[in-house]
A and B are shown apart, each in its own frame.
Chain A
């Protein structure tokens, strides 16, 4: 049954879109390739496997979480016209109604870091910290895109994955933006420097800070859901507007 039919029958699935969980499957070949050390030329003294697991935790995991959250949570939830009349703001409701998925993402990130650390010999915190920062950033982007702009699943997926991708990949690939990298260790290695960096970088603080500010701005401007454009449009199915 199509979503349109569900709508016309007055039925609507409220829960998280489980098919989103299939999205990370597409990333498995990359993960397998990097995990086996077939990517990149690390500086002297750094193994290709160590480089690969940093790539996986620094951008593949956040990007997978961003895709799952954006596609899985877009357009779901209780009828917005009814939910918006509740005591809780819709943008707060996104966190409340998807807390299982958010918690699951954090657990998945932690499990991934643990298993990759065991496999590669990298310190756990060196993989876990940038992974969690990237995942947290993807939460914040998904919240803004899905609950503030109410994007459709496809648009949400593309937007959240693009923004997250630029932030978690861009600084490693551009020589001048190294300071904005979430994982300073990987940033050093990408520039041929074998040193490790501190697990929490200025880049981590900057991006999480920007994400939190964006969420706060989305909550405050417009200050009231009545000023969002989508509720009335959605509520006018009978009308052609």
Chain B
């Protein structure tokens, strides 16, 4: 569907993407990376809103030239911070966006119901909470019904019930289309993603299934210790979790060497794997 060949993107002297290569077909793809890793830039290029500085972008096998109209027509992007007119209603906004893109207006009521917005979709957007406005954006994306959906942190601001509703609907509509979504919530990735792309400092450091990512993870160890152990561990290894289990007692989880005799090995989680490939630098 969409292919990248050695794509670079520069903003003046700053390199936002470096030699990014992939071929995306139908399916759900999670895009992981820390702030500044280049996720939003990558989504902008996929959405036809930005052009690569070097390399090639292909749509359905055809190399794209200067015009990105075909890419924009095939994709729908939900930006991370969708800016809307606070005075208009959710229904008016979604209808306006769909008209702007000449997409059909049918099925909106069903989508408002799916995302629990039936009661509020005629209220001004400015009176709705951030999470509710985020769901309005999701209604727009799913109503646009394009072959490619690009979601920039779609679960940001959603409560656990809303996230569940989103992942259920996403799994239902994903058949036959490409869905790329960036997220910091690793639990979402475990739930629905068939493929994971991990960006770090503009480079693609992982492209494969969640299982592939887990397989790359170094040994993971767990031990219990006090504050002193917890503070010293961070400077020696890559700590992936610290959980307080009592007064001055912590359960510590790290990657790499077995530093303490009482440490026990555990199965790596996707969160461990993500931290391992992104290097764990602050």
Contacts and interface: CB of A to CB of B under 8 A. Distances in A.
B153 A239 contact: no
A227 B130 contact: no
Nearest to B96: A78
Given A13-B86, A224-B68, A231 B37 contact: no
Given A226-B51, A231-B44, A241-B38, A11 B100 contact: no
B3 interface: no
B44 A10 contact: no
B7 interface: no
A196 interface: no
B84 A239 contact: no
Interface of B: 9, 11, 14, 16, 35-41, 43-45, 47-51, 66-69, 71-72, 75-77, 79-86, 96-97, 100-102, 125-126, 130, 133-134, 152-153
A170 to B, nearest CB: 34
B66 A227 contact: yes
A236 B81 CA distance: 10
B37 to A, nearest CB: 7
A14 interface: yes
Contacts of B134: 10
Contacts, number: 135
Contacts of B41: 232, 235-236, 239, 241
Contacts of B36: 239-241
Contacts of A8: 81
A7 interface: yes
A11 B77 contact: no
A87 B68 contact: no
Contacts of A235: 40-41, 43-44, 49-50, 79-80, 152
A76 to B, nearest CB: 10
A11 B49 contact: no
25 contacts: A6-B86, A9-B130, A10-B81, A10-B130, A11-B83, A12-B83, A15-B85, A78-B83, A79-B79, A79-B84, A81-B79, A84-B49, A85-B48, A224-B67, A229-B11, A231-B49, A232-B40, A232-B49, A235-B40, A236-B40, A236-B41, A238-B152, A239-B40, A239-B41, A240-B35
Contacts of B101: 85-87
Q: In the A-B complex, list the 8 residue pairs whose CB atoms are closest, starting with the nearest.
A: A12-B83, A232-B50, A86-B100, A226-B68, A79-B83, A14-B85, A236-B40, A232-B44
A231 B50 contact: yes
The residue among B39, B71, B83 with the most chain A CB atoms within 10 A of its own CB is B83
A238 B51 CA distance: 19
B84 A10 contact: yes
Nearest to A223: B66
Nearest to B86: A11
Contacts of B69: 224
A8 B80 CA distance: 10
B51 A7 contact: no
Interface in A75-108: 78-79, 81-88
B81 A85 contact: no
B84 A237 contact: no
A225 interface: yes
B79 to A, nearest CB: 5
The residue among A6, A87, A227 with the most chain B CB atoms within 10 A of its own CB is A87
A222 interface: yes
A11 B125 contact: yes
Contacts of A32: none
A10 B133 contact: yes
Contacts of B35: 238-240
Contacts of B9: 232
A14 B85 CA distance: 5
Given A81-B49, A223-B66, A239-B36, A10 B82 contact: yes
A88 B99 CA distance: 11
A240 B72 CA distance: 25
A225 B49 contact: yes
Nearest to B125: A11
The residue among B38, B39, B80 with the most chain A CB atoms within 10 A of its own CB is B80
Contact of B83 (A7, A231, A238): A7
Given A81-B44, A81-B49, A239-B37, A233 B82 contact: no
The residue among B40, B80, B82, B86 with the most chain A CB atoms within 10 A of its own CB is B40
A82 B77 contact: yes
A114 to B, nearest CB: 35
